[in-house]
Structure 1
Amino acid sequence: MAKEKNIYLKLFLSTFYLSAFTFGGGYVIVPLMKKKFVEDLKWIDEKEMLDLVAIGQSAPGLIAVNTSILVGYQVAGIKGAMCSISGTVLPPLITITIVSFFYNILKENIFVNSALQGMQSGVAAVICYAVYKMAKDVLKEKRIEPVIIMIIAFVSAYFFKVNVALVIIIAALYGVVKK
């Protein structure tokens, strides 16, 4: 029983820490979740993590929250999902609560505005790295089809302005039909 409680605490603390010290949303936290749960703790393997991220991304809601729920559930069932979701949502909730009290003071502060602009650059770099790492992992498996689908999805959404929801639905349908 002590080991069981330990896994719940570790899930909560891991997701709390990741959520508290990452800025930029789900696309920043997901690679860090992969590092923590796949590489460091070895609770799930890399393919499972990619599958959980794909499901988390396609489900309605925030990718960080969805993926956190899925990882927690995969590791320790319903209680694990509850621990990981609590750890993921508490830091932003606490931060937003504190900021809301001081909003009028902070909105005009040049130092706060400069720090936020600096964080945007860091977030962009982390997202680029995450995309690079995931694409590298897909290419390592020498599976060209997913790469072609990613390129077509990107070109469709970015250049031809096809609605992203439609791109996701078409890709999902292709995956279902192909199986």
Structure 2
Amino acid sequence: MSSSYVRLFGYNFFISTFTFGGGYVTIPMMEKYFVNHGDLSKEELLDLATIAQSSPGAIAVNLSVLVGKKARGYKGAFVSGVAAIMPSFVILSLISLAYSAFQNNPMVRAVLQGMEAAVAAIIVDLVIDMYFALRREKNLWLMILPFFAFVANAFFNVHPLWILILAAVFVVLQRRVANA
């Protein structure tokens, strides 16, 4: 791949510094910097996002490590991982020094509430992108599976781990039946 370690570090550091709201918000940024620059295809990024989501730990850090490995191997994974955790470490260290001042500051509270709305819009956009990616598979079962997962979690409080395990088993069985 064409990614240098410096560029890999810079992109991941920038993405980690300026995205708020968790791993799903980083996916559009990863697309902008890694897909649009030819390091990955959009399908590869969505596959890596799926793996990052199902792995323990923060999705954003997992995704950065996976993108780094895809772009530059194990050294790229290390560089990306360090770049992804460094901004949070620095920001949280500084905030912890002045916690009481931030805790009661109405301006900080207002900024955080505004960021919540922006994050919600970005996540909705990502869900729409993922839906269209599933739609290209032309598989009815894959298209309705997210709906059942949502209903199971939102209305029946089924733990996401069980949903993930059942969905994986379902897809594997469905693929075997389709290939038989």
Identify the residue that residue 9 of structure 1 maps to in structure 2: 6
Are 2:27 and 1:27 equivalent residues in the alignment? no
> How many correspondences in the alignment?
175
Secondary structure of the equivalent of 1:61? coil
Runs of 4+ in 1 over 4 A off after TM superposition: none
Superposed CA RMSD in Å reads: 1.7
What stretches of structure 1 of length at least 5 have no aligned partner? none
Amino acid paired to 1:81:
A
**Letter aligned with residue 117 of structure 1:** Q
Equivalent residue number for residue 36 of structure 1: 33
1:78 aligns with 2:74: yes
Report the 3-state secondary structure (helix = DSSP H, G, I; strand = E; otherwise coil) of the residue aligned with 1:44: coil
User: In the alignment, what sits opposite 2:135?
Assistant: 139
The aligned amino acid for 1:135 is Y
Map of 1:59-74 to 2, 5 A cutoff? Answer: 59-74=55-70
SS in 2 for 1:138: helix
> Which residue in the other structure is 1:151 paired with?
147
* Identical positions, percent: 39
Aligned to 2:52: 56
TM-score by length of 2: 0.91
Deviation at 1:90, TM superposition (A): 0.7
1:98-117 equivalence runs, <5 A: 98-117=94-113
Structure 2 unaligned spans of 5+: none
Kindly provide the CA deviation profile for residues 128-179 of structure 1, in whole angstroms up to 9, marking residues without a partner as x: 1111122123224433321111111111111222111100011112233334
Q: For each residue in 1:49-86, what CA deviation from the matched residue of structure 2 results, as whole angstroms up to 9, or x when unmatched? A: 11111111001111111111111111110110011111
